[in-house]
Amino acid sequence: MTQTAPTVTLVRGDITEQRADAIVNAANSSLLGGGGVDGAIHRKGGPEILAECRALRASHYGKGLPTGQAVATTAGRLGAEHVIHTVGPVHSTSEDRSALLASCYRESLRVAAELGARTVAFPAISTGIYGWPMGDGARIAVRTVREAAVAPVEEVRFVLFDDSAYAAFESALQSPA
């Protein structure tokens, strides 16, 4: 059977409010929480998420989760089954790190598929504290998801925090695949 790429949807909102099988956290390599999406997920999801992150650090990621990789924990009190933590690259003007940003989306979807998730919600990874320009971040996100065939994932939802992020993703979605 040929696999098809998931349907891509856009919503303006808060990732912590999403009902989805998995939501993706724009984590940092320590897995111990931070600002932005990361802070919001831990605040609202409760201590169970951090406890699993600490256990993952102890068992596998003593040096931190490498940039571009993804790992799953419980979603605690959130309206999702799983949180998938991925570490986006910090934007750089001297080096092209696009492949690492694409890897975050691809690896998160691979983990989601392993977990049997049908719906996956993503924030705009790296476009906050890590400084990635929104337009370029949106193009990389949309292109990578379009190229992914990751059954049983059927819906990829980008959850955009403000109007300009929504507009950037809308424009990326309208451009040819």
Contacts of 116 (CB under 8 A, 6+ apart): 21, 152
Rounded Cα distance between 4 and 15, Å, is: 25
**How near is the Cβ of 149 to ligand ADP at its closest, in Å?**
25
Q: Cα angle vertex 80, ends 41, 174, to 5°?
A: 85
User: Quick one: 23 or 112, whose CB is closer to ligand ADP?
Assistant: 23
Q: Cα angle vertex 90, ends 84, 92, to 5°?
A: 150
Q: Cα angle vertex 148, ends 40, 125, to 5°?
A: 25
User: Quick one: 36 or 76, whose CB is closer to ligand ADP?
Assistant: 36
User: Quick one: 29 or 152, whose CB is closer to ligand ADP?
Assistant: 29
**How near is the Cβ of 151 to ligand ADP at its closest, in Å?**
26
Residues that bind ligand ADP (CB under 6 A): 14-16, 26, 36-38, 40, 88, 123-130, 159, 161, 165
Q: Which residues are part of the catalytic machinery?
A: 38
**How near is the Cβ of 89 to ligand ADP at its closest, in Å?**
9
**How near is the Cβ of 57 to ligand ADP at its closest, in Å?**
18
Contact in structure between 147 and 5 (CB atoms under 8 Å): yes
Contacts of 81 (CB under 8 A, 6+ apart): 21, 22, 75, 115, 117
User: Quick one: 101 or 117, whose CB is closer to ligand ADP?
Assistant: 101
